[in-house]
Structure 1
Amino acid sequence: MKKLTHFKALINYHKTEKGGLVTPVSTGFRASFKFPFELVSYLGVQTFTENELIFPGDSIAVDVTLIGAELFLGKLYTGMDFEISDNSGIIGNGLITELYSK
């Protein structure tokens, strides 16, 4: 079963020296998404349509599918900001540019 894409976002990945990515990532990259008014983070799968590889310091439009966030999806809105993190800490930030219907 294919998961539906929940939103498109412009994501700014921090440079390595600022605590961001160390190596390039590709479609399917999973990271934690933290929204301003939520206490929990949601795992999100990222799909890159413009480039095959995303490098530290890149800013790019990304399709995001959140995992296990069904009850939260109604709170998302265009223009909402968020942070992205992995095990090493915050690796980027982003802004929702488009919501996809359910």
Structure 2
Amino acid sequence: MEKRPHFKATLTYLSTEDGGIVTPVSSGFRAIIRFPYDNRELIVNQTFLETDIVFPGDTVIADMFLLDAKETLEKIYTGLGFDLLIQSNIIANGVVTHIYRMNDNK
């Protein structure tokens, strides 16, 4: 069974100096995602659409797949901002740009 993305987002990774990642990450990278409406943290898989590797300070577009997402998917909307974290440290900020529905063809 193919896992379809839940939404598309623009991600801005923080520079290393600002507390972001130290080394580049590749498409398929998993992080923790936190939306502003609660402090619940979920695992998110990111598939970068225009590149395979992201460096500290880069801005990219990615398809996002949430694990255990049912309740969260009912609350997100286009334009919603969020944070990406590793071990409680914010490494990137993102904005939802498109929400995929079950019958969308990307």
* TM-score, normalising length: structure 2: 0.92
Secondary structure, aligned partner of 1:75: coil
- The percent of aligned pairs where both chains have the same amino acid is 45
* C-alpha distance 21-88 of structure 1, shift in aligned 2 (>3 A): farther
Secondary structure, aligned partner of 2:70: coil
Residue type at the aligned position of 1:31:
A
What is the distance in 2 between the residues matched to 1:8 and 1:82? 12
* C-alpha distance 37-88 of structure 1, shift in aligned 2 (>3 A): closer
Instruction: Give the C-alpha shift of residue 25 in structure 1.
Output: 0.6
Q: Does 1:36 align with 2:33?
A: no
What is the distance in 1 between the residues matched to 2:88 and 2:53? 20
Secondary structure, aligned partner of 1:57: coil
Partner residue in 2 for 1:98: 98
Aligned length: 102
Partner residue in 1 for 2:7: 7
Residue type at the aligned position of 1:7:
F
CA RMSD of aligned residues (A): 1.0
Instruction: Give the C-alpha shift of residue 52 in structure 1.
Output: 1.1
Instruction: Give the C-alpha shift of residue 88 in structure 1.
Output: 5.9
Secondary structure, aligned partner of 1:71: helix
Partner residue in 1 for 2:47: 47
Large movers: runs of 4+ above 2 Å: none
Secondary structure, aligned partner of 1:72: helix
The C-alpha deviation readout for 1:64-92, integer Å capped at 9, x for no partner, is 00001112201110000000100261001
What is the distance in 1 between the residues matched to 2:99 and 2:25? 23
Instruction: Give the C-alpha shift of residue 49 in structure 1.
Output: 1.6
In structure 1, stretches of 5+ residues that fail to align are: none
What is the distance in 2 between the residues matched to 1:76 and 1:30? 19
* TM-score, normalising length: structure 1: 0.95
What is the distance in 2 between the residues matched to 1:77 and 1:8? 11
